[in-house]
Structures are given as C-alpha cells and as structure tokens.
Amino acid sequence: MSEEVLIRWAGSVGHISLNRPKALHALTQAMCEAISAALLAWRDDAAIEAVILDHAEGRGFCAGGDVAMVRRSALEDGGTAGRAFFHAEYRLNHLLFTYPKPVVAFMDGVTMGGGVGLALPGRYRIATENTLFAMPEGAIGLFPDVGAGWYLPRLPGQIGKFLTLTGARLDGAECHWAGLATHYLPSEKLAEAKQRIAERPASIEAALNDLAAEVPPARLARNAERIERLFAPDTLEGILDALASDPSEWAAKELKAVAAKCPATSKVALREFAESAGKSDFAEEMALEYRLAARMIMRPDFAEGVRAVLVDKDNSPVWNPATAQAVTQDSLDAIFAPLPLQEEWTPFPA
C-alpha cells in the first residue's frame, strides 16, 4: 500500500483517499496502481457494497497527473516511463467506469485533469463550495484525456468544447448545472455523508439528497446562449472566427483564452470529440486516448507547455505550429494512427 493512497474500509464500504497534499494529490503511477489493486480486490468481494473516493487533507481532490515526470521521461528516456504512467492511469479510469458497485467521488477542492478521470466515472459525484473543476491540458500541449473524450462531448450543447478550448474553471454550482456533478453538498456535511454511506450503503442516494444544499445560481448559465452559438463550429478556425466576430466583452475574453492554447492540442481535442461521440465502448475510448498520449508527450509542444506552466512558470509558451492554420491534416493523422499491436493499451481482464 502506498502512503500516498490511504485504503481502508468501514463496514461494507471501501474507502480510498488520495494522500499527496503537497502536490494537490496529483497522481503518480504508484498511486494509480494502488487504487486499482484495491478496486480489483473489492470488485468480486461480496462484503464490499460501495466505494468512497476522496482526499485525505488539503485543498485539492486531485490536481491531475504527474506531468513533470512525464516531461522528464519524454526528454530523457524516450517517453517510456510516461507511457507506463498513462497505461496505468487509463486502466484505472476504465476500471472505475465499468465498476459494478457504486462509487461515490467527493470533488471537494481542485478537480482537474487526472482528478476528473477519477471523479466522472462515479455513479455519485459530489461538488461543494470548494470545487474547482477544469481540463487545462491545452495550456501544456497535451489534450483532454482520462476519458474526457467520452464525457465532454456528451455534456449539453457545446459545454464540452468550451471547457476544453478555454480551460475554463468551474465552481461547484457550475459543475452541478453542467451535469458534471450529481449532488451539491456544503463541505461541512461531507463527514456526515460519508458516515451515513458507511452505515447504510444501500441508501446512498437518500443520504446525499437529505444532506444536499440549495445549489447557488451557476455563473456559466448566464453565457449558455453564447457558448452554444460561438462554440458550434466544427473547426478551431471556425470557433476563433466566431469569437472574433462577436462584439461582447465575454467573447473577447474567451477568444484570448482559446488563442493562447496550443493549436495542435485544440485540433486534436476537436477531432477526438468527433471520433468519440459515437463510440459505445469506453475501452475503445481509452485505447484511442492512449495512442494520442503516447504521441503527444513526444511532441515539442508538451515539453514547452510544461516548462512554461510548471518549470519556469513564465506562462509564455512558444507553440510549434503557432497557428491553427499551420496544424496540418497529415500531422493529425499521424497522431491518431494505431500503435503497433504490442504497444496498444489494454484494460484489466473482466
């Protein structure tokens, strides 16, 4: 058992807590493997009826994956360690998605990237006043992964595209409004919620409904019409043109956000969404995302994006290609192409 993951059980409920507070519980390969091992052990254990997934302390549920390590891998070992991390992480994502028992994910605090991949498969997803949700991969030259290619296109309207291309950060009320969270609870009620779930795992829905608070108005809802209209185009160029043509201050702000992201990342995301929207098997989604991850981490944009955001922290990445128009169809085809059979991603056996 990793000290960075606390695994125990209360009655007939398994309880997994992320415990890497100095890194906002960002996932390492060892953490992914420890969580997967616990879930696999409980999957066919009749004594375990449900699983609670939360964090032990600090202000983050999970800030993502260990992208600094992945960058070092891309620069030093040809991406071998980075690919091993993604393989383990995506196996965990798929295991959670297909898990036969209720998983209750408490998104209390920062829930970004890899944290989204942990939370969204849960049958019950709890937001609070502390929730800060985002898919910020465009800022580091990656792409929306951990199953985001499945979840985000299935959100209402153009919300998924908006979140991906802007990196917008949502609070708990906005997560509930968008369908990312199933319940909204005050943070002071979380301990009681977990206790009730442990005592009566067959009554999770009733416990959460009883403790839920009135959801504050979602700020994002005020711009729902603009999001639906301006993020409707199928291409990055079309969305940039739509935002540039709108006279509102909101459109100008979002145009700046979209234009600042890695153009290749944005185009990969839009193609990923188009290909994934019709998928009926989550394993196919994870196999696709693994192909993308294996190639995207080796592109110079990834090393440059992580440098700008996490290493030098100047937030001034130099993307290559620098514009949407310069990202070619051939380059996208190469990123999306199947891997050699022995290198493809595989799920845990059922």
Express each pLDDT in 13-66 by its tens digit: 999 999 999 999 999 999 999 999 999 999 999 999 999 999 998 889 999 999
Q: At what angle do helices 67-76 and 80-97 cross, to 10 degrees?
A: 140
What sections of 66-110 are H helices per DSSP? 67-76, 80-97
pLDDT of residue 36: 98
Q: Is residue 339 part of a domain?
A: yes
Q: Is residue 330 part of a domain?
A: yes
* pLDDT band (50, 70, 90) for residue 129: very high
Q: Is residue 277 part of a domain?
A: yes
List active site positions.
Answer: 65, 114, 137, 145
Q: Is residue 310 part of a domain?
A: yes
pLDDT of residue 106: 98
What's the whole-number mean pLDDT along residues 198-220?
97
Question: Which of 111, 162, 175, 114 is closest to 142 using CA atoms?
Answer: 114
Q: Is residue 212 part of a domain?
A: yes
Instruction: State phi, psi for 231 to the nearest 5 degrees.
Output: -105, 15
CB 236 within 8 A of CB 267: yes
* CATH number of 268's domain: 3.90.226.10
Q: With residue 25 as reference, give the H or E element that holds it.
A: none
What's the whole-number mean pLDDT along residues 254-283?
96
What's the whole-number mean pLDDT along residues 122-140?
97
Give me the number of domains the chain comprises.
1
pLDDT of residue 58: 84
What's the whole-number mean pLDDT along residues 114-122?
98
Instruction: State phi, psi for 279 to the nearest 5 degrees.
Output: -70, 145
How far, rounded to the nearest angstrom, does the alpha carbon of residue 85 sit from its chain's CA centroid?
15
Quote the pTM value: 0.97
* pLDDT band (50, 70, 90) for residue 187: very high
Percent of the chain with pLDDT over 70: 99
pLDDT of residue 2: 60
Is the pLDDT at 328 greater than 50? The verdict is: yes
pLDDT of residue 278: 84
Q: With residue 127 as reference, give the H or E element that holds it.
A: strand 124-127
Q: Is residue 349 part of a domain?
A: no
| Mean of pLDDT over the chain | 97
Is the pLDDT at 173 greater than 50? The verdict is: yes
Express each pLDDT in 70-108 by its tens digit: 999 999 999 999 999 999 999 999 999 999 999 999 999
CB 48 within 8 A of CB 42: yes
Task: Determine how β-strand 183-184 pairs with β-strand 124-127.
Answer: parallel
The secondary structure of 293-345 as a DSSP string is HHHHTTSHHHHHHHIIIIIS-------SS-SSTTS-HHHHHHHHSPPPGGGS-
Q: Is residue 348 part of a domain?
A: no
pLDDT of residue 1: 44
Domain carrying residue 218: 5-343
Q: Is residue 350 part of a domain?
A: no
